[in-house]
Amino acid sequence: MRVLVLGSGSVGTLTAYDLSSDFEVTVVDRDEARLRKVEGFAKTLKLDLSRDEVLDEILRGYDVVVNALPGFLGFKILRRALVAGRDLVDVSFMPEDPLPLNDEAVRRGVSVVVDAGFAPGLSNVLIGYMQSRLGVLDEAVINVGGLPKEPRPPLYHQVLFSPKDLIEEYLRPARCVVNGKVVMKDPLEVIEEVSIKNFKFERFPTDGLRTLLSTIKARNLIEYTLRWPGHLTRMKILKELGFFRDEFIESTMKLLIPAMTYDSPDFSVMEVYGRSGGKEIKFFMYDEYREGFTSMSRVTGYMTALITRLVLKNYVEAGVIPPEYLGMNSRTYEFIIGELVKRNVVLEIS
């Protein structure tokens, strides 16, 4: 079977690497240097996918399309995949709500899995599993972070993905559920300390719930992002001083990015907790840099690849499917968890 991966960044590369052991994989990007990194295990095509006619042409020849391009292209590619009748696994984290396209996807017999990454992605799968076991959740909490193992002052953090997206986490109001209602929280208004296993972190609410806000029945539901102590206090001061305002953000980024760009192996950690009545479930996940791949690319790319495998196996029904639905289904849930463990990702349930 033939898989098309759009984008050869860190997530697209890891996804193609994993899938290439069993499928014919082609990776498309307009950056020739990035494409050279995947030539050892996948076919490559240098194309500019911002042109609609180019995108329509390339979609036709493959069984499944994986979109690992930036979010601003996500919704357009989703619509084009529907018209072309191609199954799609999307890890672009598009800003638009894809769920209204569900009826069209069902009518066309196309399977579209959105937010097929780490968080959102794996976090959704675990929340979906909890609801399938516990019913309506009194409380559900996601604690998640990708961090350097050797944090350096003055900011104690490392750029592991898009710098622009990193700063956006400190600015975008975080949607969460409080007493059954969706509310908005200022991400840096309250900085909390939290202990997870042997780690001590700071955490702040982030806007990563996305489809969970409408698919999960919970009285209280929130996502927190984890940072090493000291980082968030500095970000809050910069925000309060106005350094993240539109007219200053470009200059601010030029100062911040060098301070968070250094060599350090990274690790990823996630704790997902759910409670209903007297019953509760807690997941703990841990991963770190291995074999030339950052942990963030591993946990995100492996999830994307595993969900693509589920689509290729016809385990995913037609429609726009958020990952929490895969967690509610015992067959797809067990496949994802089992395959992550095979790839040396630590995953514990209590």
Mean pLDDT of the 135-140 span: 98
> Residue 166 has what pLDDT?
84
Domain 122-293 is of which CATH architecture?
Answer: 2-Layer Sandwich (3.30)
Q: What is the DSSP letter of 173?
A: P
Q: pLDDT for 190-209, tens place per residue?
A: 999 999 999 999 999 999 99
Mean pLDDT of the 218-235 span: 97
> Residue 54 has what pLDDT?
85
For residue 277, pLDDT over 80 is answered with: yes
CA distances (Å), origin 120, targets 9, 116, 259: 18, 7, 27
> Residue 113 has what pLDDT?
98
Peptide bond before residue 120 is cis, with ω within 30 degrees of 0 = yes
Mean pLDDT of the 204-231 span: 97
For residue 160, pLDDT over 80 is answered with: no
For residue 228, pLDDT over 80 is answered with: yes
Rounded (to 5) percent helix, strand, coil in the chain: 35, 30, 35
> Residue 291 has what pLDDT?
84
- The confidence band for 52, taking pLDDT boundaries of 50, 70 and 90, is confident
| Range(s) of the chain covered by CATH 3.40.50.720 | 2-117+299-349
Across 128-153, b (16+ Cβ under 10 Å) vs e yields bbbbeebeebbebbbbbbbbbeebee
> Residue 61 has what pLDDT?
85
Can you tell me the distance from the alpha carbon of 244 to that of 184, in angstroms, rounded to the nearest whole number? 19
- The confidence band for 318, taking pLDDT boundaries of 50, 70 and 90, is very high
* H-only helix segments in the chain: 10-19, 32-36, 52-59, 74-84, 102-108, 122-134, 163-171, 212-215, 231-240, 249-259, 295-312, 323-328, 330-342
Average pLDDT, the chain: 95
Query: 323: which strand partners?
Result: none
> CA angle at residue 156 from 150 to 160, to 5 degrees?
75
Please tell me the least confidently modeled range out of 11-25, 30-44, 113-127, 267-281: 30-44
| Pair of tokens at residue 145 | 């972070």
Other CB atoms within 10 Å distance of the CB of residue 66: 32
Q: pLDDT for 73-117, tens place per residue?
A: 899 999 999 999 999 999 999 999 999 999 999 999 999 999 999
| Range(s) of the chain covered by CATH 3.30.360.10 | 122-293
Q: pLDDT for 163-186, tens place per residue?
A: 777 888 999 999 999 999 999 999
Mean pLDDT of the 206-222 span: 97
Count, residues in the chain: 350
With a pLDDT cut of 70, the percent of the chain lying above it is 100
For residue 159, pLDDT over 90 is answered with: no
For residue 53, pLDDT over 90 is answered with: no
For residue 161, pLDDT over 80 is answered with: no
> Residue 164 has what pLDDT?
77
2-117+299-349 classified as CATH 3.40.50.150: no
